[in-house]
Structure 1
């Protein structure tokens, strides 16, 4: 059996309960929301394709494409989760910005703002805005033709 080499996630090295709680909250809020939205769009597309006449099949196809693109964005967000939580300090240890490790208060003075960063999800939001805008424009164009 072929084995795929994968790099271990830096999130596995999170040591405190608060850090793990932050990661779970992030997964539930953001990744779950994208996945639920894609499932909703795909479900709506199935309903439109099955219930309505052939004139509306284009709307079902647009929502199918929209749901699949949302699913791909969800996978992208899941794959890049390490980037949103981890930064490296000068000694190579993983640091989670915005959380406080109660076990290492003495290391807190050593960690400066240059060592940690917070990466927003602005690129994902712009991508979703572009995808949604294109899909809605296509919907309006096809609704005008009907």
Structure 2
């Protein structure tokens, strides 16, 4: 006869048990969800709004020579928005999806993608700045 631990190891993964027992009545679970939303969703979406606002300010205030710089900041803003919405989908799938996610995906890949996008964007801005002088 199998013990409870052996049946747990053989039949259900930890994420399946978490999903089966997940209820929004536990105070710590609610705090965890809020922390994930603030960190993984909110930070990306706030940064996206900041970048898009900066791009619109550059496009609106300055002359036509600055349009490439404003366009670069708008691309960065939209990239942050896509990553933020993707993180929202991943969080919802992890916490409240119909099929439990096997593990929680940390931000390694999105951070790497955004780092590459920002480095390329700033390398595109440098020649534009020198062209203005």
Q: TM-score of the superposition, structure 1-length normalised?
A: 0.65
Can you give the 5+ residue segments of structure 2 that lack an aligned partner in the other structure? 1-18
In the alignment, is the contact (CA less than 8 A) between 1:83 and 1:119 conserved in 2?
A: no
Tell me the distance in 2 between the aligned counterparts of 1:133 and 1:83.
31
Task: Tell me which residue corresponds to 2:83.
Answer: 73
Calculate the aligned-residue CA RMSD, in Å.
2.6
Deviations 1:10-47 (A, max 9, x none): 59933522012101111012211110100011111111
Shift of the 120–54 alpha-carbon distance from structure 1 to 2, 3 Å rule, reads same
Distance 1:42 1:124 in 2: 19
Number of aligned residues:
110
1:132 is matched with which residue? 118
Whole-Å separation in 2 of the counterparts to 1:18 and 1:32: 19
Deviations 1:84-119 (A, max 9, x none): 669xxxxx9x79xxxxxxxxxxxxxxxxxxxx8554
Secondary structure, aligned partner of 1:144 = helix
User: Aligned equivalents of 1:12 and 1:73: distance in 2?
Assistant: 29
CA contact (8 A) 1:48 1:56 kept: yes
Contact 2:40-2:88 at 8 Å conserved across structures = no
Which structure has the highest helix share of the two?
2
> Alpha carbons of 1:47 and 1:12: their partners in 2 closer, same or farther (altered >3 Å)?
farther
Structure 1 unaligned segments of length 5 or more: list them.
Answer: 1-9, 87-91, 96-115
Relative distance call for 1:141 and 1:25 in structure 2 (3 A) is same
